[in-house]
Amino acid sequence: MIGRTNAMAMTAVALLVTACGGGERGTDGLSGRVELDGSSTVFPISEAVAEEFSFSASAGVQVTVGQSGTGGGFKRFCTGETDISNASREIKESEIAECAVNGVEYERFAVALDGMAIVVHAENDWVECVTVDELRSIWEPGSAVRNWSDVRPEWPASQMRLYGPGTNSGTFDYFTEAIMGEMAVSRPDYVASEDDNVLVQGVEGDQYSLGYFGYAYYHENQTRLRAVAVDGGSGCVMPTIETINSGEYSPLSRPLFIYVNTASLQRPEVARFVEFYLEQGAELVPQTGYIALPASDYEQGLNRLAELTGG
Amino acid sequence: MRSRHARERLVGAVLLGFSIVSILTTLGIVGVLLFDSAAFFAEVSPLEFFTGTSWTPLFRPANFGVLPLLAGSLLIAAGAAMVALPIGLAAAIYLSEYAHIRAKRVLKPVLEILAGVPTVVYGYFALTFVTPIIRSIWPSTEIFNAASASIVMGIMIIPMVSSMSEDAMSAVPLSLREAAYALGATRVEVATRTIVPAALSGIIASFILAISRAIGETMIVTIAAGAQPALTLNPLRGVQTMTAYIAQTAQGEAPHGSVEYRTIFAVGLTLFAITLLMNILSGLVLRRFREEYE
C-alpha cells in the first residue's frame, strides 16, 4: 500500500499548498473558489494544475479537486454543485438529460490522452502480445477461459486470475466499450477495485494474473509489473507515449476531458483556471504519466474559451 | 398550581413529539424501502431474486440472484461470530467472576474502546495489516478476502458480547454463587455451571445482537472483502456482502429510477428483514430463557 500512502501524502501536501495560497492574496487580485470533481483517472492532472495554479499570480483562488469517478462527478456537476467535472469518457445520454433538467450548460475541453495497459506479473515469461479477440474471449460474459491454456494451448494450465476496475470506473466503461463493443459487457468474476493501487498490488503479487488499468498507473509502476502488447488487427503494439499519441495503440487509448459549467465560466476565477489548465497542459500532463495533446488542440481549446468568456 | 400543571403538559407534549420523530423516521425508511422494492419486483420476479445464483446487476447481461450477496453476508458474519463469541464470552467470565474490582474498573472501559474505533480504521487495518499476514500463510489468498474482514469485524464486536454478557452475569444474585461455593464447587465450576446457565438469556441475546451488527456492518467489508459477489464458503476468496453492494451502487452512476438503482432497495429490504428478525429473536430469547430471581 506504499502507493496509496504516497497518494494520500501528496493530497495532504496539495491541500496545504492551496490553504496557504488562499491565505495570501494573489497578485492578480482574483479570489473565490473553483470546485472540481469526477474521474479518478483525470484526477492527477487536475491536481497538478491546481497545485501549479496556487503558485501562480492567482494564488488567492482556492481550488478543490475531488475524485468520485466520472459518473459520480457528473452527478454533482449536473446539479450545479461543481464548476468543472473531470471525465475519462464523454458525457452519457442520461447525464445530458440530468444536466438539462437542472439547466446546467457546459463545454467540453480535451486535456490529455490516456492509454489503457494490459498488465501481467513481472515474471510472466509466456505472454508478449494478445489480440483484441483474445481479450474479448477472456473478458466476455460467461467466458469459458479459466486457465491461461484456454486462451492459447502453449500457455500454462494454471488459473488465470483477473484484475480490473470496478463498475463505477470510467476505465471499466471504456475497456468494455473498446473490447466488447458495448459498455458494461464483462464477466463479473474478477477482482474489482476503484483504487488502481490495489490493482497494481494484486497483479504484482500473483504470478498468473492478468489485469487492465490506466496507462499512468502502469507507467508509475513499471518495475513492479509488465505490460503486454495489444494487436488490434494491424500487429502487436506496446503502449508507449509515442504509440498512444500517434493513435497506433488502438483500440485501448482515449482522450480525457474536463467539462466546464458555462455559467461558472462567467466567474473570472473559473475562467482563469480553465485558461491556466489549457496553457499549462502541454507541460504538466506528461509529468503525471499521461500524454499531452498536440499543441494545436490546446490552442483550439483556448480559442473556444475566449469565445465563451467574450474575451 | 394551574400554570405548573400546564407546563408539565407542555413538556410531556414536546417529549412525545421527539419520540414520534424517531418512529416516523423508521416508518419513512420502511415506506421508501417497500415502495422502491415493489417497483423493483415489478420488473424482476421475486423467484429470480431469491433463488438466482448470479448477481451482476451492473454488468451486461444483468442477473438478479441475491444468493451470492446473502452468502457473502452470512459467511462474514459467521467468521466474525467465530472470533467474537468465544473471546467475548471468555472476557465476560473473567470480568464477572475472576477480575479484581479494580482490574474490572480499568479493563471494561478499555475493552469498550474497541467499539469506538471508527469502522473505516478497522477496514484499512484488515486490508493492510491482516490480509498480508493471511497471504503469507496461504499465498493463494485473494487481496480482498472474507477472512480478514471477518477477523477484524469479530474484534470490533467483542465488546458488544463481553459487555452485555458481563452485565447479565453480574446480575446473577450473589446467593447463587455462595450456594455453589458452599457445595464445594471450584471457581471454574461456579462460572461455567452456575453463572453462565443462569445468565444464558442475556448471553444469547448479546450473541444475536452482535451477529446482527456484523450483518449490518458496511465499511469494513467494503474496504477489505472485495466487490465480487460469489457463492462460496471459501474465506480466502473475495466476496461482496449486501451492505457493501448497497454502498458501492449508491455511490455509482446507476441512474435514478432504473432497475439497477432499485436493486439497492430490494437488497436493503432483505437486509432490513434479516436484522429485524434477529432483533425480534433476541427479544424472544431474553424473555423465554430469563431466569427470574427474587
> What amino acid occupies position A23?
G
Encoded amino acid at A241, one letter: I
Spatial separation of the C-alpha atoms in residues A246 and A221, rounded to whole Å:
23
Percent of chain A with pLDDT over 70: 92
Nearest CB to A72 within list B54, B142, B253: B253
Contact A188 B252 (CB under 8 A): no
Please state, in angstroms and rounded to a whole number, the distance separating the CA atoms of residues B38 and B17: 31
- pLDDT category of residue B293 using cuts at 50, 70 and 90: low
pLDDT of A15 above 60: no
The verdict on a CB contact (< 8 Å) between B251 and A188 is: no
Render pLDDT for B13-66 as a digit per residue (tens, 0 to 9). Answer: 999 999 999 999 999 999 999 999 999 999 999 999 999 999 999 998 999 999
Q: Is A77 on the interface with B (CB under 8 A)?
A: no
**Does A173 have pLDDT greater than 80?**
yes
Give me the count of residues in chain A. 311
- A94: contact with B, CB 8 A cutoff: yes
pTM above 0.90, yes or no: no
Taking the CA atoms of B103, B105, B108 and B112 in sequence, report the sign of the dihedral they define: negative
pLDDT band for A183, please (50, 70, 90 cuts): confident
| Lowest mean pLDDT across A61-75, B70-84, B115-129, B245-259 | B245-259
Q: Please give the Cα distance from A187 to A169 (Å, whole number).
A: 15
A10 has a pLDDT exceeding 50: no
Is the pLDDT score of B92 beyond 60?
Answer: yes
**Cβ-count burial A234-262 (b if 16+ within 10 Å, e if not):** eeebbbbbebbbeebbbbbbbbbbbbbbe
Q: What is the tens place of the pLDDT at every residue in A83-136?
A: 999 998 899 999 999 999 999 999 999 999 988 999 999 999 999 999 999 999
Q: A87: part of which helix (H) or strand (E)?
A: strand A84-87
Q: Which three cell numbers stand for residue A221?
A: 509502476
Cα dihedral A37/A41/A46/A49 (nearest 10): 170
Distance CA A213, CA A169 (A): 10
A32 forms beta bridges with: A61
Report residue B109 as a C-alpha cell: 472501559
Q: What is the mean pLDDT of residues A22-42?
A: 82
> For residues A31 and A192, what is the distance between their CA atoms, to the nearest angstrom?
41
User: Residue A67: which of A141, A7, A3 has the closest Cα?
Assistant: A7
Residue-wise pLDDT for A217-264, tens only, equals 898 899 999 999 999 999 999 999 889 888 899 899 988 999 999 999
**CA A164 to the chain's CA centroid:** 14
Chain A closest CA to B127's CA: distance in Å? 9
**Interchain CB distance below 8 Å, B143 and A198:** yes
From B140's Cα to the closest Cα of chain A, the distance in A is 8
pLDDT band at A9 (very low <50, low <70, confident <90, very high): very low
Tell which of A96, A183, A193, A195 to mutate to test the B interface (max B CBs under 10 Å).
A193
- How many CB atoms lie under 10 A from the CB of residue B204? 18
Tell whether A143 is within 8 A of chain B (Cβ): no
A188 with B229: Cβ contact below 8 A: yes
Closest in A1, A74, A191 to B128, CB measured: A1
Nearest residue, CB atoms, A168 vs list B127, B142, B253: B253
Closest CB from A166, A182, A187 relative to B227: A166
Query: How many Å apart are CA A160 and CA A166, to the nearest integer?
Result: 18
CB B165 within 8 A of CB B85: no
Cell numbers standing for residue B189? 465450576
pLDDT over threshold 50, residue B139: yes
CA atoms within 13 A on the CB side of B275: 18
- Enclosing H/E stretch for A255: strand A253-261
Asked if the C-beta of A182 comes within 8 angstroms of chain B's C-beta atoms, the answer is: yes
